[in-house]
Chains A and B, each alone.
Chain A
């Protein structure tokens, strides 16, 4: 594979136009889309996550990097679809009811797409019924829920309870995340996994999906 470090840099710098331009060049050069994603784009986002951890990057930088990755992914997706590459799995994801925050959730969506998942994004302020319908209609392996506020965090619990009551809980793995959400809270509400950040979330999702398929 050619050196696409400029694409890597464009994502780390949050430059969506350059990211799209370089992705186009890579496609024209006959680069394999999967390789481009896994060896250039995903590592770039991991670097962005690291820069956030060490406080060189802040939320706006995360957001811009996510946009830059998305700009590239959108060009690659049709090629991947046409080439018949099977998705890693299917994920239904949303910000829980009452909560309008989606910067973190959108980053997770980009990382999941980068990891080869088909992502059904239900958006923000998603009531339990919508999660339940989506599980029935789309038959995902994974359901992801996000909350930014401790005020809305209890909606994660009520959504999981509603899924249990509707009989759709057992067929899926549930992942939760968001600033106030912790490993302990995830366990308490009966989720299967907690994602500390978007990169970790994608790694965990791959593992959960492999487990689900093996079971």
Chain B
């Protein structure tokens, strides 16, 4: 049976490049990540439409604020990323994302897909806000939304030179909102692992009839310090 990919628009192009062209592809809008329950419903509907006609059904999603918890199929296998979000997917592992969050919790991330979509990032909303609320309130709201972020991190893909227009977009917004602009090389290793059929580690295969649970999605997390969250037991008491 032909596989089908149901992916967030943010990683559709990356997945296409790693997967055979004759697989079926469908994407859902990035903005759904702000509404996990709606995303869950949209995903379950897309899965049901493909269930039994395609196998496996690949989800270009991670845990995504628990939107994927509870998803299930009747006939096809489901394969998805055991990362918290797409940042882990673009950095190549859940651990890489966790490490980054610990060393610098104040990063706002952009990727090719975020910028290319034109609706995905917080900055894309600015023209609408300015039109509706005027410059003063629009600026105030952006300031508040970005208030605790310190850096704007553009994740690049190894071997693919970032588009100059992406760089300009990211640099301009970083400058406008007082963020430090950083380019960071990501990794497609995890997406490639999923595409190649190695469903282990941070790639999860769920057989038909089984519901995705939070435990399944979190199981590959490293052991955490018992005393307090955010501390890695191996290095701290």
A-B contact pairs, 10 of them (CB 8 A): A59-B34, A98-B105, A127-B228, A150-B66, A151-B101, A154-B229, A162-B228, A180-B63, A182-B69, A185-B214
A128 contacts across to B, CB distance below 8 A: 228-229
Which residues 82-117 in A have Cβ within 8 Å of B in the complex? Answer: 96-103
CB-nearest residue of chain A to B67: A180
Query: Of B36, B133, B230, which one neighbours A180 at CB under 8 angstroms?
Result: B36
Q: For B218, what are the chain A residues with a Cβ–Cβ distance below 8 Å?
A: 150
Closest to A95 in B: B148
Q: B28 interface residue, CB < 8 Å from A?
A: no
* Cα distance A182–B133 in the bound complex, in angstroms: 33
Question: Interface size class for chain B?
Answer: 20 to 34
In whole Å, how far is B89's beta carbon from the nearest beta carbon of chain A?
A: 13
Instruction: With both chains docked as a complex, state the minimum distance between the C-beta of B125 and any C-beta of chain A, in angstroms.
Output: 6
Q: Taking A180-B65, A180-B66 as contacts, is the C-beta distance between A151 and B228 under 8 angstroms?
A: no
A36 contacts partner chain B, Cβ-Cβ < 8 Å: no
> CB of A166 within 8 A of chain B?
no
Q: Check A96–B148 contact: CB distance below 8 A.
A: no
Question: For the complex, what is the distance from the CA of A31 to the CA of B224, rounded to whole Å?
Answer: 54
**Do the beta carbons of B84 and A149 come within 8 Å of each other?**
yes
**A58 CA / B20 CA spacing, docked (Å):** 37
Q: Mark A171-201, 1 if CB is under 8 A from B, else 0.
A: 0000000011110010000000000000000
B105 touches A63 (CB 8 A): no
Q: Is B141 an interface residue (CB 8 A)?
A: yes
- The answer to whether B137 has its CB under 8 Å from any CB of chain A is yes
A151 CA to B101 CA, complexed, in Å = 9
| Residue from the list B36, B137, B145, B148 in contact with A59, Cβ < 8 A | B145
CB of B146 to closest CB in A, whole Å? 11
A63, A124, A125, A179: the one contacting B145 at CB < 8 Å is A63
A51 to chain B minimum Cβ distance, whole angstroms, is 13
Judge whether B133 and A98 touch: CB under 8 Å: no
Contact indicator per residue, chain B 184-220, by CB within 8 Å of chain A (1) or not (0): 0000000000000000000000000000001000100
**Cα distance A181–B106 in the bound complex, in angstroms:** 21
Q: Complex Cα distance A151/B232, Å?
A: 13
Whether A96 touches B84, Cβ cut-off 8 Å, given contacts A60-B129, A154-B224, is no
- Set of chain A residues within 8 Å of B180, measured between Cβ atoms: none
Contacts A124-B148, A158-B228 aside, 19 further interface pairs with beta carbons under 8 A come to: A14-B133, A55-B35, A59-B34, A60-B145, A63-B145, A64-B133, A67-B140, A98-B105, A99-B105, A100-B106, A128-B228, A128-B229, A149-B101, A150-B85, A152-B229, A152-B230, A159-B229, A182-B66, A185-B66
Contact residue range for chain A? 35 or more
State the CA gap A148–B105 with chains docked (Å): 12
Bound state CA distance, A59 and B128, in angstroms?
A: 13
Interface pairs A-B: 4 shortest CB-CB: A155-B229, A100-B148, A98-B230, A180-B65
| Residues from chain B with Cβ under 8 Å of A150 in the complex | 63, 65-66, 84-85, 218
| Interface residue ranges of B84-116 to A (CB < 8 Å) | 84-85, 97-98, 101-102, 105-106
**With A60-B125, A64-B137, A185-B214: A102-B148 Cβ-Cβ less than 8 Å:** yes
Residue of A whose beta carbon sits closest to that of B225? A158
Contacts of A103 in B (CB 8 A): 144-145
Contact between A97 and B141, CB atoms less than 8 A apart: no
A96→B102 CA distance, assembly (Å): 13
Q: Most A CB atoms within 10 A — which of B66, B106, B129?
A: B66
A108 to chain B, nearest CB (A): 15
Please tell me if the beta carbons of A14 and B137 are within 8 angstroms of each other in the complex.
yes
Q: Decide if B149 is an interface residue (CB 8 Å cutoff).
A: yes
Alpha-carbon gap, A160 to B199, bound state (A)? 34
Cα A193 to Cα B87 in complex, Å, equals 30
